[in-house]
Amino acid sequence: MSFQNFLTDNIGVQCLEPQLQPTAHLGEYPLSLNQQEVWCQCQFDPESILYNMGARIAISGPLQVETFRQAIQKTVDRHEILRTVFTGSDDIPVQATSHVIPRMTMQCPVRDLPMLSAEESEERACSRMKTLTKQSFDLCAGPLFRGELLRCGETKFYFIFAFHYLILDAFYCGQLMREIAFTYDRLRRGEPLPAMPDLQYGDYSVWLQERWNRGCLAQKATFWRDQLREPLPESRLPTERSVPIPRQLGSQVTLKLESELVRKLEEVATRYQTTTFRTIVATLALFFSRLTETNELMFDIDFSIRPKEMSHAIGSFTNSLSMRFEVQVEEGFNQLLRKVDSKLRLAAENREFPARRLFGKSRSARDPLRPLSSVRISPLGSLDLPVGELHLNGNIYLTSTVYDLWLGVMEREGTLEINFGYADELFAEDKIQRWAACVHELLRELTSGPETKISELTSWLI
């Protein structure tokens, strides 16, 4: 049955929802719906690093190196997704199977860095992390996770690691690191380790596939059909030159908001019964509308689709969804914020649907790797964690992208950062810095008078 026929035949059909429960683990399970999209794109270039990600975690304190390496191995033993590889079918080359390796030994070599300043050590750690991330993974053989421990002194270390998006996404990378840290602390104290999770990623994948087969997701297609209707918004960013996809995401400009501005953002979000993240999205819609001189534009926005029953699970649970937004200059920002909030709420209700399968004609006339949007917005988690005698903190890094610009929004206890990730071939650093400064000034003006008409704003002029 074709995809379109599947949707037509199942819309309006009463669906009996299957239960999410542990299944008999036979070592193989189907790819989840978002994994299928990623795997198919990886077949265009098996050596591509497009879906590689990396992390740099600073560790302060008297780290017991061998115990830490054991903690990594114990965590890999607990989570099947970290021992999963992906093999194609000889009979059906576009179909893949997830295969769990019963035992996978994780190597975590230790490298000693020379005595350097704190800034130099961090720069060296970031450089090494990027080197790890730019090495391709063998999806069929694995492992799809690699790490190293860098020793800068008796009480200063960096744990750097790289992973493939098929097994883990940026949103839940912090949870993996927290589990490694708490496992380390239990091993150090001689305490028993937690039991294996009741539900593994394979259980989720089987459950999601069953829901798809029964037509339980078909009703969610209506919202995404409207988002992807023709004609699509053409709101390409003004880049320095045209560069083939994928691009090396080599640089980043970070906009750190002062605490008073964060407080005002939270007040605006509370007043209009929305969230700080959605207020940032509305502000970015306003900014990019002005930048591209169009009142309709499209972003790809990341949503978590992990079921609440799997709060202890890690894996690839992010669905990146294309959404269109309309900005009218005679409305107030508060009206735009309400529209953005309403649309993001509807998107959240329909976030499980694999909307990329609706691209159809939109994709047939373009590069198969090219997204419908030039901008991706991701809510990011961060790590700032005291564990016993140690303190860990760090961030996630992307090193390759199909987008012109990747924006990571990171919130944590009174602070907020917007990371502008970009390819050096596309943009000059001073241009991205100017854009970040414009967003900063725009946020200041909007939080001071959210009812102000968009046409009357002054601080957002490029």
> DSSP assignment of 53-77, as one string?
EEEEEEEES---HHHHHHHHHHHHH
Domain assignment of residue 399, yes or no? yes
pLDDT confidence of 13, banded at 50, 70, 90?
low
Q: Which structure tokens are listed for 409? A: 């929004």
pLDDT confidence of 177, banded at 50, 70, 90?
very high
Of 172, 201, 230, the one marking the end of a domain is 201
d(CA 69, CA 63): 11
d(CA 392, CA 173): 14
d(CA 430, CA 367): 29
Q: 162 and 80 in one domain?
A: yes
Residue 307's CATH number: 3.30.559.30
Of 152, 168, 201, the one marking the end of a domain is 201
User: Looking at the DSSP assignment, which residues form a beta bridge with residue 386?
Assistant: 391
Counting other chains too, the contacts that 433-437 makes at CB distance below 8 Å and 24 or more residues apart are 433/253, 434/462, 435/287, 435/291, 435/462, 436/253, 436/254, 436/255
Q: 244 and 184 in one domain?
A: no
d(CA 79, CA 17): 26
Domain assignment of residue 128, yes or no? yes
Tell me the residue range of the domain where 351 lies.
Answer: 219-456
The pLDDT of residue 92:
47
Q: 244 and 131 in one domain?
A: no
| Residue 398 predicted with pLDDT over 50 | yes
Q: 224 and 160 in one domain?
A: no
pLDDT confidence of 47, banded at 50, 70, 90?
confident
pLDDT confidence of 365, banded at 50, 70, 90?
low
Domain assignment of residue 20, yes or no? no
Q: What SS3 class is residue 355?
A: helix
Of 167, 201, 235, the one marking the end of a domain is 201
| Residue 226 predicted with pLDDT over 60 | yes
The pLDDT of residue 462:
55
CB atoms within 10 A of CB 298: 22
* Strand intervals (E) in 154-271: 156-164, 247-248, 251-257
Say which residue, 68 or 398, is predicted with more confidence. 68
pLDDT in tens, 332-361: 999 999 999 999 999 999 999 988 777 765
Q: 305 and 250 in one domain?
A: yes
Domain assignment of residue 415, yes or no? yes
pLDDT in tens, 353-364: 988 777 765 554
| Residue 307 predicted with pLDDT over 80 | yes
Q: 139 and 258 in one domain?
A: no
Number of folded domains that form the chain: 2
